[in-house]
Homo-oligomer: A and B are copies of this chain.
Amino acid sequence: MKVASYLDTPEEVVQMEGAKGVRVRWVIGNQDGAPNFAMRHFVIEPGGHTPAHSHPYEHEVFILEGEGEVLDGDTYRPIKAGDVVFVAPNEFHQFRNTGTAPLRFLCLIPIQQRCC
């Protein structure tokens, strides 16, 4: 059993094309023997965003802090702390921080992926 603060996992800057001001911690994943899915903790700085893209796997997201928008196809929808977002496989999406404080959220994906 792993019990640790999310802060104990090193933080990486997301270097993908289309990402701006995004950092990630892989808080549960391959390194822990997770067999099916990985938990990542993201921070997006004010004005920052993840890439606008789609991929053949889902996201399960819980907003921990802050406010922003998620792109749903061609429409931006507001998100805030306490919101849940399910991005189905192949849905076009992007997360962006439209607030003045960091936007923090958990984003889980199937274990075989190493992307955003």
Which residues from chain A sit less than 8 Å from chain B, CB to CB?
1-7, 9, 27-28, 32-37, 39, 58, 60, 62, 64, 70, 72-73, 77, 79, 82-89, 91, 93, 106, 108, 110
A6 with B62: CB separation less than 8 A: yes
Residues of chain B within 8 A of A35, CB atoms compared = 58, 89
Specify the chain B residue showing the minimal Cβ separation from A91. Answer: B1
Q: Provided the pairs A36-B110, A108-B108 are in contact, do residues A1 and B87 lie with their beta carbons within 8 angstroms?
A: yes
Listed from nearest, the 7 A-B pairs whose CB atoms lie closest are A2-B86, A1-B72, A27-B84, A37-B37, A28-B86, A32-B86, A28-B60
B34 with A2: CB separation less than 8 A: no
Query: What 15 new A-B contacts, CB under 8 Å, besides A1-B87, A3-B72, A34-B86?
Result: A1-B73, A1-B85, A2-B84, A4-B83, A5-B83, A6-B62, A6-B82, A27-B84, A32-B88, A33-B86, A34-B60, A36-B36, A39-B60, A60-B108, A106-B106
